[in-house]
Amino acid sequence: MAYEYESFSTKAPRDGAFELVDEALDRAGQKVIPQDEHPLDSEEMKARLAMIKDWWVDAYDLHAASRREKTRDHDYYDGDHWEDEDKLELEARGQKAAVYNVTKQALDWILGTERRTRVDYRVLPRGEEDAPGAEVKAKLIKYIQNVCHEPMERSAAFGDMAKSGLGWLEVGIRSDWEDEPLFIAYEDWRNIWIDPYSRRNDLSDCRFVFRVKWVDLDVAMAMFPDRRDVLKASAMTGDQAYQATVEGTDEINEGYEDAETQMMTASDTTEDGNRESSRQRVRLFECWYRYPEKVQIIRGGGEVSLGPIQNGIYDPENPHQKALVDNGFASLYDALKMTMRVMVFCEGYVLQETRSPYKHNRFPFVPFWGYRKKRDGSSYGVIRNVRDPQDDLNKRRSKALHILATNKAIVDDNAVEDWDEFADELNRPDGIMKKRTGTQIELIRDNAIADQHIGLMEQDRGYIQYASGVSDDMMGRKTNAVSGVAIQSRQNEGFALTMELFDNARFSVQLAGELQLSLIDQFYTKEKKVRIVGPQGDVEFVAINATDPETGLPVNDVTASQADFVVDTANYATTVRQAMFESFGEMMTKLPPEISIAILDLWVELSDLPGKEQMVQRIRQVTGFIDTTNVESKTPEQQEEIRQALEAKQKQAELADYAQRLQLALLETDLEKKQAEIKKILADIQVELDNSRIKRGQALASINSQKEKNTMQESKRQPMSG
């Protein structure tokens, strides 16, 4: 889809742009419209320009004090702590303007923590049918972020946020499609002015955003060749353009009295006033603003969903949208909406004015907010609350050094012949001072006072660390906390003090991701193959908007599905996570082995070890655990793997159950057989016992019968009595 506008920060000059002659533009085939006939000089456009210039004046005046403070915050990070008049006063007394930059140490820890714990994201489908498209979009965004060096750009915006309270990212489309069309770039806060009455961090209540930059005249004329006359009339040379370009903020130039003077005044000399500058520059104002307009909204008819264009502003020049409406698949309805528009102008002339080319109808700039004042909504960073103790620390250190490096003396008027020689010898560590006989010299050293200054300086240092949330415990330095619980408690306190910064940064990453998704839906309509590098260095090539040669159906059409960008709730406190890892490990040593093995994968997930994903996967393969959490957010391939794993686990359980039942059946059969054998044995034993009883009874009967016979025979042998 073609579009008319692109940011002047990414717009490339046309051929011949660096030849500041009329013929160069003619050779480029650019038509120059006379100023009095140009449509951008109409009365309606002049009235709108007047309205926008009023906004600029309000924004400039109301933000002036806050921007001066922001500039000072950055000076403190860079070690520029002393005012010029204070330096002169110290030099006059022979005292060094010492700087002991504790503030920078605290900020460096915060900036380093952000770099070590950069958040990741997920792209979630809105419906089951959107799952394949969401997976492709996630890979495409990863590729775009790698090409645009998005982590470094994001860290630069975070740095401005932490130091002075506000950083910016720009998410847009460039016209040079030889490079990646979607870009993510850091923008200096000194170039941005917003609606001073806006209070919401997502700029949803913001009416306008200005970006102001100085551009060489020939480059500006190449960007807007039909407005070269007004650009020449608006060009500046000398001190104003030089100062505003080098120092980067207009408020610091005391020669400017107000915003109107800033916009209209020109100078012909450089800062030293000795020569005139031949370099011509022009200041371009880019204003993104919301403007009430009657528009037509497109929506699907019946149960038909239009995907990304659903409930968007209807574009009659878009053949796809027009075909949907003409064929009855979509309907239109009138609405009054605050549409996003953009105007580029220089001084008193409009260079370009059009509706935003982006369908998301939002500002292309994403703010990174630090802290905001309730009184006026102005932003400030960590440095603002530690500037006073930093000043006090520097002054006391400078004073202590001066006291320790110098000596004082009380001397009689006539005690010394050469006072210069006496002063030189007094300040020498091996000095020998001569005095007249009978006179007195009393040497004074204020070491005790120097110790008091050093003690207060240490208090200032402690307050800087406390106010910034970055203590010695956070930085791993040795403190009086000896137990792990005490160290962790102090670290948690520090993380609580800095958590608002990281939470705001995560919200900004969320906003930037939403813009990226919208631009992908809108502009990535052509076939493209992107390279994705995995966490282990594995390379994957993914084709988007391709066509299946066999079926002729679209493959990986990123414009046909809806998805949401979600930032993972990663724990920014790396050391806290490490402490949890250690505590978890100690707890596992006290658990039964079978329980420790069951939760071993959860313990490894808390670590920062390289390749922990593969470790967790192998542990779960051994333990047989299947992760079924957030199945709907996983890719179709991952869902299929989980389904197959669950089926395999179910079959394994069924086989195990069958084997157990079979074993029980076999045991029961074997038991019955053994019981029958036992019964037979018992029966045989019983028969033998019965036979034994019978035999024993027969034997007894035989014995008894024999006894009776013997008795009868014995009775027959005895004689008869008389």
The series of mean pLDDT values per 10 residues for the chain, 722 residues long, is 44 34 35 63 91 94 94 94 89 85 90 83 73 80 88 94 95 80 94 95 95 92 90 75 49 41 44 61 94 85 64 77 80 87 92 91 95 94 92 88 78 81 76 78 76 84 81 57 51 68 91 91 79 63 70 64 65 50 75 79 72 76 67 65 73 75 79 81 82 80 79 68 46
pLDDT score at 208? 97
> By the 8 A CB rule, do 575 and 474 touch?
yes
What's the chain's Rg over C-alpha atoms?
A: 44
**Any idea which residue has 């699907």 for tokens?**
300
For residue 55, give Cα distances in angstroms to 381, 490, 644: 26, 47, 61
Buried-state track 692-713, b at ≥16 Cβ within 10 A, e below 16: eeeeeeeeeeeeeeeeeeeeee
Distances (CA, A) of 649 to 623, 626, 636, 646, 658: 12, 9, 20, 5, 14
331: exposed, middle or buried (Cβ count in 10 Å: 0-12, 13-18, 19+)? middle
Residue among 196, 217, 215 nearest 207 (CA): 196
Q: Around Cβ 151, how many Cβ atoms within 10 Å?
A: 15
**How many other CB atoms are there within 10 angstroms of residue 365's CB atom?**
22
* Residue 474 CA, distance from chain mean position: 20
d(CA 683, CA 30): 121
Q: What are phi and psi of 656, to 5 degrees?
A: -65, -40
Give me the pLDDT at residue 671, please: 78
Check residue 76 and give its pLDDT: 94
pLDDT at 423: 80
Burial class (CB in 10 A: 0-12, 13-18, 19+), 100: middle
Backbone angles phi, psi at 170, to 5 degrees: -110, 130
CB atoms within 10 A of CB 715: 8
Residue 15 DSSP label: T
Torsion sign, CA atoms 287, 292, 298, 303: positive
Angle at 706 between CA 702 and CA 709, to 5 degrees: 140
Cα separations (Å) of 325 from 197, 318, 330, 361, 372?
Answer: 40, 11, 5, 22, 46
Beta bridge partner(s), residue 237: 267
- Tokens for 51, please give them: 């309205």
Torsion of CA 159, 161, 166, 168, to 10 degrees: 50
Which has the closest alpha carbon to 332: 354, 303, 359, 310?
310
Distance CA 113, CA 162 (A): 12
Q: Give the distance from CA 567 to its chain's centroid.
A: 9
User: What are the two backbone dihedrals, phi and then psi, of residue 339, each rounded to the nearest 5 degrees?
Assistant: -85, 150
Q: What is the rounded distance in angstroms from the CA atom of residue 52 to the CA atom of residue 229?
A: 22
